[in-house]
Amino acid sequence: MNGPGRHHADDGTEQPMIRLDGVSKRYPDGTVAVHELTLDVQRGELVVLVGPSGCGKTTTMKMVNRLVEPSGGRIFVDGTDVTHADHVRLRRGIGYVIQNVGLFPHRSIAENVAVVPELSGWPKARRRERARELLALVGLDPDTYARRYPHELSGGQRQRVGVARALAADPPVLLMDEPFSAVDPVVRSQLQDEFLRLQEDVRKTILFVTHDIEEAVRLGDRIAVFAQGGRLEQFDTPAAVLGSPATPFVSDFVGFDRGLKRLSVTPVTRADLEYPPLVKVSDSLRSAATAMNTSRWAVVQDESGGLAGWIGREMCDADGVVGDQARRMEAWVALDDSLKVAFAEMLQWNAGWIAVLDHDDRYLGVLTPSTLHAALRRSVEAESRSIPPSEVDLVTVSDA
Ligand SMILES: Nc1ncnc2c1ncn2[C@@H]1O[C@H](COP(=O)(O)OP(=O)(O)O)[C@@H](O)[C@H]1O
Ligand SMILES: [Mg+2]
């Protein structure tokens, strides 16, 4: 079941948008920051580099836009070897978002957003229009914010401006280095949600850096786990990284070893579920497309509330009803099944999510790798504090 969810299998026919081929970086003082790294990012894919501080994530990212020159190996962006590309042109084709944004304090928000269009010689009216459009896209009302200055915004709002600025010239590739790490957990969680919605719209190829495994699991189509010295320990979907860590380092880093022991004794509960758009077999494809809104897929229910399957938004560009196009769903679990069963199903079907049914086979919601992870953390926390899992507050992952 590769269709639904954000986690796609690569069909192998397209060349990757970003390709690192045996890339190394040794700084002049002898520090090896990255060691023979090979990794690719498909068009429209969001790959998260995650690992502890100092493991070479920022160095890797800066080699892609050549703020740092590799000591060995080759890097391709859209098929072109960037080690020979013109720096300035290369960087204009790659949006870059960093932790403390680096807005110009004496320029208005609109001017900050339009920096790259300005450098590219766009006329003033077009820059202004573009800035307003982008502010709206990242959830900042242009009438309110366009004329303000950076110090008049909250930390979360400044991060949104940073994202808007990176998108200004509509670059196919975005590099994001810990963009949400400086804000508090609640705002971070909101920014992550908004960012996922935005990505559904813009479908950029994104390399995203974080030291936070929760954030990685939540955002990534695939996750690259790094150890010190820029060694790639595992590069796979969130479910695979969490469910079958490739090395002791990974299992330790994802903090899942304790959790794994609890998988088989922790049931799936209603509190763990997410709710993607829901359509009925008899709905017209047109109305299904509307109901899906920004989501790329929906769950399909039969008339009695049972699970009929799923449908992708691109499957709705036709006349007829949902039932004509819907795909069967092979993977599902029942409420109160163990998380271990849910995990096993998810891995077996290589699914980005799995449906949960009640005891009368009615559809309730879905589990995703991030909600599974949250459920496990809740269970581990609850045990260590001797309270019921439902009383554990997790701000970073569960409040989707
Ligand atoms: N300009 C530099 N000169 C020397 N060593 C550096 C430089 N930049 C980073 N490093 C070292 O390279 C390693 C990786 O750093 P970095 O890529 O910033 O890691 P991360 O982003 O994962 O925290 C660290 O040991 C760091 O101290
Ligand atoms: Mg860094």
Look at residue 102 and give its three-state secondary structure: coil
- C-beta 58 within 6 A of ligand 1: yes
What pLDDT band is residue 116 in, cutting at 50, 70 and 90?
confident
Angle, CA of 298, 235 and 258, to the nearest 5°: 85
**CB 231 near ligand 1, within 6 Å:** no
Architecture of domain 270-377: Roll (3.10)
In angstroms, the first-to-last Cα distance of the chain is 24
Q: Measured in angstroms, how far is the CA atom of residue 89 from the centroid of ligand 2?
A: 24
d(CA 294, CA 291): 9
Domain span(s) for CATH 3.40.50.300 in the chain: 18-93+172-265
pTM: 0.68
Separation of CA 360 and ligand 2 centre (Å):
50
Cα of 271 to ligand 2 centre, how many Å? Answer: 34
Predicted local distance difference test score (pLDDT) of residue 394: 57
Q: Using a 6 Å cutoff on CB, does residue 50 contact ligand 1?
A: no
The three-point CA angle 257-241-400 to 5° equals 95
How high is the mean pLDDT of the chain?
85
Kindly give the number of the ligand 1 atom that is closest to the alpha carbon of 31. Answer: 5
From CA 115, how far away is CA 87, in angstroms rounded?
Answer: 17
Which pLDDT does position 393 carry in this prediction? 65
Residues of the chain with CATH 3.10.580.10: 270-377
Under a CB-based contact definition with an 8 Å cutoff, are residues 302 and 263 in contact?
no
Q: Which residue has the higher pLDDT, 240 or 49?
A: 49
- Does the Cβ of 210 fall within 6 Å of ligand 1? no
Count of residues in the chain: 400
The mean-pLDDT minimum among 11-15, 240-244, 283-287, 291-295 falls in: 11-15
Q: Which token pair is 284? A: 């017209």
What lies within 8 Å, CB to CB, of 175 at 6+ separation is 61, 64, 65, 94, 95, 96, 97, 206, 207
Summarised one tens digit per residue, pLDDT across range 126-174 is 999 999 999 988 889 999 999 999 999 988 888 889 888 888 888 889 9
Q: Is the CB of 157 under 6 A from ligand 1?
A: no
**367 with 353: CB under 8 angstroms?**
yes
Q: Compute, in angstroms, the gap from residue 25 CA to the centroid of ligand 1.
A: 10
Q: Which two three-digit tokens encode residue 318? A: 């036709």
| DSSP secondary structure letter of residue 327 | B
Which residue's CA is minimally distant from atom 21 of ligand 1?
58
Atom nearest to 29 CA in ligand 1: 4
Q: Which fold has domain 18-93+172-265?
A: Rossmann fold (3.40.50)
Any atom of ligand 1 within 6 Å of the Cβ of 120: no
Which protein residues have their CB within 5 A of the ion that is ligand 2? 58
Q: Is residue 216's pLDDT more than 50?
A: yes
pLDDT digits (tens, 9 = 90+) for 243-291: 788 999 998 888 755 566 677 778 898 888 999 999 999 999 999 999 8
Residue 69 burial by CB count (10 A; 0-12/13-18/19+): exposed, middle or buried? exposed
Q: For residue 282, how many other CB atoms are within 10 A of its CB? A: 11
Cα–Cα distance between 390 and 337 in angstroms, integer? 17
